[in-house]
A and B are shown apart, each in its own frame.
Chain A
């Protein structure tokens, strides 16, 4: 490979975009050519300097507030206004005909819809907890510190256990809001991945088998057991999250 060819590939080499064969050709040429190896060094030094995190700007808080407001305004405009004008007798007729069908299907539909709604809120809470440095209200690996912290803040006691020996240490707790109610969020960690575990009491008496979902690149697992509803969310792989879910389900 000559200098002309090499020079066009230097950027690709620095960016890790060349295949193995061409990478080696570039290295071999640069080893024996001062001009090209000098160029390569320059590009690598510039690249290292530019990819430093200090070069990036962070979004000002006022921007987030502005956006929040403009979306609020947007959703208010969307509020539906129905202006039906159907005669009274037609309304009664429709109502009578629909009631039987609707009651059954709504019951099924609402369960699925409300679960979707909770999933969306779990994702939003997870994302918010990562964003604003607000992962913890209480930061501790000791379950005997985290569990009592919720006393007086919730009207239930969340089950809190540590799985450090299995590789999923407890790292803290947080008060969060889902479906309009205060819930406990327990934070675990697997390598660099935070896992949020939301747990709250459910009126359902039965247990349900764990369900896996994926939203926005996150893995979620939810189930009901012994009067509590559990939602796990993390960017951890599906396998590892399932393994963790199984640990939580053991008595």
Chain B
């Protein structure tokens, strides 16, 4: 009886400060405003249903984990072809020389160009970059959120950045937009 009102307030206190982060994560992953809103709304409902199990610590990590899970439920249903096994680290030679970094292209990066380039990355790379670069999460936090070992996080970030740099250089050469 009382708890219903208390739950709503606990839910809002945990969720409201993290709504931008939640929407941002969902948008970079779904690439579409309507879908991102659906994912976040679904996540918010799940969060409300589980609010009593929330221990009150690290609300951002708690809610973003729910958002990520809601996204994967959504993508498996709506775009199953996008979910594939992450590339085997053995077959992807990280230590091969990357192209000479194009400092000017990176320095003048605007969101539109980043948006186009990120669209070419697989989901697990995009997710790692969003959490590291946009949310400033540590490797440990990302590992806990994505339920993978820290080594996997490091490897995904390295490969993601390498691939992203290659794409940015290539896209700048074409002057193309998508």
Contacts and interface: CB of A to CB of B under 8 A. Distances in A.
Real binding pair: yes
Interface string A65-108: 01100110011001010000000000000000000000000000
Contacts of B154: 11-12, 17
B158 interface: yes
B161 A46 contact: yes
B165 to A, nearest CB: 6
B157 A11 contact: yes
Identify the interface centre among B14, B23, B28, B106: most chain A CB within 10 Å of its CB: B106
B81 interface: no
A39 B101 contact: yes
Contact of A42 (B9, B10, B11, B106): B106
Nearest to B109: A49
B59 interface: yes
Contacts of B164: 46
Contact of A71 (B2, B8, B22, B100): B8
B41 A70 contact: yes
B155 to A, nearest CB: 9
A7 B95 CA distance: 7
A38 interface: yes
Interface string A154-176: 00000000000000000000000
Contacts of A15: 132, 138-139, 157
Contacts of B100: 38
Interface string A1-38: 00010011011100101000000000000000001001
A47 to B, nearest CB: 7
Contact of B4 (A4, A75, A123): A75
A104 to B, nearest CB: 19
Contacts of B129: 50
Interface residues on B, range: 35 or more
A22 B56 CA distance: 36
B165 A56 contact: no
Contacts of A78: 4
A153 interface: no
Contact of A50 (B48, B101, B133, B138): B133
Interface stretch (A112-120, A187-195, A242-250): A112-120
A195 to B, nearest CB: 17
A78 B2 CA distance: 13
29 contacts: A10-B158, A11-B157, A11-B161, A15-B139, A38-B100, A41-B101, A42-B106, A43-B101, A46-B106, A49-B107, A54-B111, A55-B111, A56-B20, A56-B24, A57-B27, A59-B24, A60-B23, A63-B19, A63-B23, A64-B19, A70-B44, A71-B45, A75-B4, A120-B6, A123-B9, A124-B12, A128-B16, A130-B17, A217-B57
Interface of A: 4, 7-8, 10-12, 15, 17, 35, 38-39, 41-43, 45-51, 54-60, 62-64, 66-67, 70-71, 74-75, 78, 80, 113, 116-117, 120-121, 123-124, 127-128, 130-131, 214-217
Given A50-B129, A127-B13, 9 more contacts: A46-B106, A50-B133, A51-B136, A57-B28, A60-B23, A67-B40, A71-B44, A131-B17, A217-B58
